Structure 1
Amino acid sequence: MRSTRLTMLVLSICFAVSMQAGAQDELRESIATDYQRNLEALFKHFHENPELSHREFETSERLAAEIRELGYEVTEGVGGTGVVAVMQNGDGPTVMIRADMDGLPIREQSGLEYASTATQEDIDGEVKPVMHACGHDTHITSLVGTARQMAARKSEWSGTLVLIGQPAEERISGARRMLEDGLYERFPKPDYALAFHVSAGIPTGRIEVPLALRASSADSVDIVVHGVGAHGASPHKGIDPVLVASQIVVSLQSVVSRTIAPQQAGVITVGAIHGGSKHNIIGDRVEMQLTVRSNDFEVRDTLLDAIDRVARGVAISLGVPDDLLPEVTRSETETTPPTINDSATAERVRNVVAEAFGEDVLWDEPRDGMGAEDFAYFVTPDSGVKGVYFNVGGTPPEDLDDAPSHHSPFFRIEPEPAITMATETMVRAATHLFGGGMEEAQ
């Protein structure tokens, strides 16, 4: 009798494993088929027709149309050009999946047959070339693929699914605008929020799911340095703003090394400096543009306050009068806190990835920069939303060493493996969180 029970138990386990493997194969095949029939052409369309931040008019219209056809309730124009799609499917948690839509003002030189030749008037009134040089075309294509799979598999999940097409990630302002436009009041507020980024620095077939920090904070800071104009041959008769600005640049480089703890991370980069008009003229104004990065809320405040102090102190030391001291302005729009994953939820997503693709798929290399993401606004500590932002490999392993970086005119990724793997991960992660959320509620 015991032998019979044991045999039945083994057979039951084998049957369950076989059913699970079959379901995994079916989902993978369905996504692969969808890519060949629909998503490949959609990706090329998005790549050939990029639009700049807060100017994603046709992109958002096409994204909304694609998802509306699948039975979602779709609202356009949220936070400017944002798209929100909702599918309610019984009781359960609310899961939000976000994809960013905007391109960059770069002339594409990737050599792709579907390379962008688009130009567009930017929000500053200038006409600029436009390119998807950061992979957002991958993100919105995968969002459509995910929407299709979730709509077709409503029997496998219960709750409310919210899909977001977000504008202006490149200006780190689109997420905040959507929230200011009532995203969490007008639509179901998520219990969980998911997003991914294709990475040229990770090989195709690999996925990175950070358990805590995913992206650094970013703040744009402008400094106007004032001086007193004079002849270049008589510098003693004026106050040279170029000299003052130069000293500020040098002094700022000591802030990270001498103001924050050695184990903390921080970056202050002066990305642009403009001043003067001629060889032999001392002007009266220099304009500086900075980006500031950190991984910690307290460090972020320390760096920003130090910029104020250094700019003022250097100017005073060089004899700038009180009424001409530098003006330091922190951008109210190009700013975002660090993106920090909810550790417990990230661990669950990692387990989903490992179960679906194998442990070897997980990528755990150290970060090599301090890129920022305004997904952080959707999952701030006070929001109560548990967020997970993961990375999907976009470069064939054999090309990894020579892969152009994001924001390069030569940027290119391998779309099929990135889009299909990201879509499968999103579907599995969302389905798991719907089930997990229901169990927790009980």
Structure 2
Amino acid sequence: MFQTLIDRYLPGLSQYEDIYKKLHANPELPDLEEETANLIEGHLRKLSSNLEIKTKIGGHGVIAICRNGNGRTILLRADFDALPVEEKTGLEYASTKKMKDVNGDLKPVMHACGHDFHVTSLLAAAETALKARDAWSGTIVFLFQPAEERGTGAAAMVDDGLYDPKKHACPVPDMVLGQHVMPYRAGSVETKAGTMMSAADSFKVTIYGRGAHGSQPHHAIDPVVIASYIVVRLQTICSREVPPDETAVVTVGSIQSGDTENIISAEAVLKIDIRSVTQEWRQRILESVKRIVRAECEAGRCPKGPVFERTRTYPLTHNDKEVNNAIEKSFSSWFGKHHKSKPKPHLASEDVSILASSVNRPCCFWFFGGIEAKEWDERENNGTLDEIAVNHSPYFAPVLQPTLKTGVEALTVAIMTFLRTPSNEMLYTPADV
């Protein structure tokens, strides 16, 4: 079934390779993705006049609604923001772009997380679905989301009335589906029921001391020393509070204090990132972080308590078991040995599930690989897989093919899994989602 549909309807991908290269060479930072959104809208309008296209949702968000008779409604999501990273891949279409971020600071910009693959795959999948309208029945929402890297884009679209019938009037989906390119063998896909990706909580913590001359520390309350104790003590959360069979990470990614060596500064700023894979331990770890910071400030005689500012938050990405099992069955049929069921959650984080949880619907998210097969196999044989450039690296450069083809096929197979007409042997028959 999948073979016939894909052979018949999958478009030639050379035009999409060109779109990918254009996106990769012209990345835009979160909340500033106007040109990217315009490119997406323009291509969608060229595909069909039957698409209901709505723009500027929660910033630069775009949706295209394809109604094709009775049946379920599925929402397919791709994110499209980039990162403040200077690209070092050496690709002929590498980004050399710089732009001012939302704070007005000039930054290099790169698609270092593969969101350009997500956009291109979904655009090609949209064309495939439009051509194959005689093979499925229902409604598809193609959703293109900004600001994933800030963890705000999905919530911003929902809060801006994505599902509000009086505003953007996006049909409430029966399920939300999405995918992410990863540093895995190209051509492969990975699925997992339950927790697929971790929750993430990030904070800026300000520690207050008392400034003085570097030669007179007895007149100071040194925030650098206090911050140093905090950093060391935070490491005991995962090693001494979290059970050994539970997964969690607490990282202090930045310490900032003072400008010169002979002045004890009046304050220090820590930036802390927390990853967890269960809601119970997420809350307990957050409480432990705050307890330790406050206790060390008290021990160090800080003139006032620390200030916590939340900078980012991502929910757990939890794959609905029933939806995931249907996806796994289809992926195993189509990708064969190149489909694997992932045994453990990934410690990166995503906000895609907000598009589902906000309307009490199930979500399913999967990974597809982007590392050239020969390189992967050689590194696997010589034990150097850990040297492969990963997402957010300035060297992250998924091979163009078969990565793009895999992304398009995975989305197409997912569409046909849930929307095939009864005459085409629908695989998925849930009780009620």
Q: For 1:161-193, what per-residue CA distance to the aligned partner results, in whole angstroms no more than 9, with x for missing partners?
A: 101110011111111111111122221011111
Question: Quick one: which amino acid aligns to residue 177 of structure 2?
Answer: L
> Post-superposition shift, 1:111?
0.9
* Aligned: 1:64 with 2:38: no
Equivalent residue for 2:423? none
The structure that has the greater radius of gyration is 1
Assess if the C-alpha contact under 8 Å between 2:152 and 2:351 holds in 1: yes
RMSD of aligned alpha carbons: 1.9
Shift of the 102–411 alpha-carbon distance from structure 1 to 2, 3 Å rule, reads: same
Aligned to 1:431: 416
1:30 CA drift (Å): 4.4
Q: 1:152 aligns with which of 116, 131, 146?
A: 131
Deviation at 1:368, TM superposition (A): 8.4
**Per-residue displacement from partner, 1:316-358 (whole Å, max 9, x unpaired)?**
112224xx12112223xx2111101011111111111111222
Distance in 2 (CA, whole Å) between partners of 1:111 and 1:230 is 48
Q: Which amino acid aligns with 1:326?
A: P
- 1:10-29 matched pairs, under 5 angstroms: 20=1, 24-25=3-4, 27-28=6-7
SS in 2 for 1:375: coil
Match of 1:130 in 2: 109
Q: Quote the residue 1:188 is aligned against.
A: 171
Q: Distance in 1 between matches of 2:67 and 2:263?
A: 67
Displacement of 1:273: 0.8
Q: Pick from 360, 364, 381 the counterpart of residue 384 of structure 1.
A: 360
1:105-162 deviation per Cα after TM superposition (whole angstroms, max 9, x unaligned)? 1111101111111111111111111111111111100111000011111111111110
Unpaired runs of 5+ residues, structure 2, are 377-384, 421-425
Instruction: Write the mapping of 1:356-375 to structure 2, written as runs, cut at 5 A.
Output: 356-358=334-336, 360-364=337-341, 366=343, 370-375=347-352
Matches within 5 A, 1:339-418: 339-358=317-336, 360-364=337-341, 366=343, 370-380=347-357, 383-400=359-376, 401=385, 402-418=387-403
Aligned to 1:84: 63
What is the Cα deviation at residue 441 of structure 1?
7.1
Counting only pairs closer than 5 Å after superposition, residues 37-436 of structure 1 correspond to structure 2 as 38-71=15-48, 72-185=51-164, 186-200=169-183, 202-321=184-303, 324-331=304-311, 334-358=312-336, 360-364=337-341, 366=343, 370-380=347-357, 383-400=359-376, 401=385, 402-435=387-420, 436=426
Give distance in 2, aligned partners of 1:351 and 1:368: 20
Which secondary structure state, in structure 1, belongs to the residue aligned with residue 65 of structure 2? strand
Q: CA deviation at 1:70?
A: 2.2
Letter in 1 for 2:180: H
The alpha carbon displacement at 1:244 in A equals: 0.8
How many residue pairs align between the two structures? 412
| CA distance, structure 1, for counterparts of residue 315 and residue 215 of structure 2 | 47
Distance of 2:317 and 2:335 partners within structure 1: 26
Off by >3 Å, runs of 4+ in structure 1: 364-369, 435-442
**CA apart distance, 1:433:** 0.9
Task: Return the TM-score normalized by structure 1.
Answer: 0.89
Change (3 A) 1:305 1:440: closer
Provide the rounded CA distance (Å) in 1 between the counterparts of 2:162 and 2:241. 38
Matched with 1:10 is none
Partners of 1:438 and 1:403 in 2: how far apart? 37
Shift of 1:379: 2.9
Q: Which amino acid aligns with 1:74?
A: I
Distance 2:181 2:254 in 1: 28
| Letter matched to residue 254 of structure 2 | A
Structure 1, unmatched stretches of 5+, are 1-19
Is the Cα–Cα contact under 8 Å of residues 211 and 342 in structure 1 kept in the other structure? yes
Structure 2 CA distance, aligned partners of 1:432 and 1:187? Answer: 22
Partner Cα separation in structure 1 for residue 200 and residue 430 of structure 2: 35
- Answer yes or no: is the 8 Å Cα contact 1:93–1:159 preserved in 2: yes
Residue by residue over 1:190-239, the C-alpha shift from the partner in whole angstroms, topping out at 9 and shown as x without a partner, is 11111111112x10121101112211111111100000112222212221
1:437, CA displacement in angstroms? 9.1
**Percent identity among equivalent residues?**
35
> Counterpart of 2:204 in 1: which secondary structure?
strand
Provide the C-alpha distance between the structure 2 equivalents of 1:393 and 1:149, rounded to a whole number of angstroms: 21
Residue 280 (structure 1) shift: 1.9
CA shift in 2, pair 1:39/1:412, >3 Å: same
2-structure distance, mates of 1:255, 1:26 = 52
Contact kept in structure 1, 2:21 and 2:93, CA below 8 Å? yes
Q: Distance in 1 between matches of 2:232 and 2:220?
A: 22
| Aligned residue identity for 2:126 | A
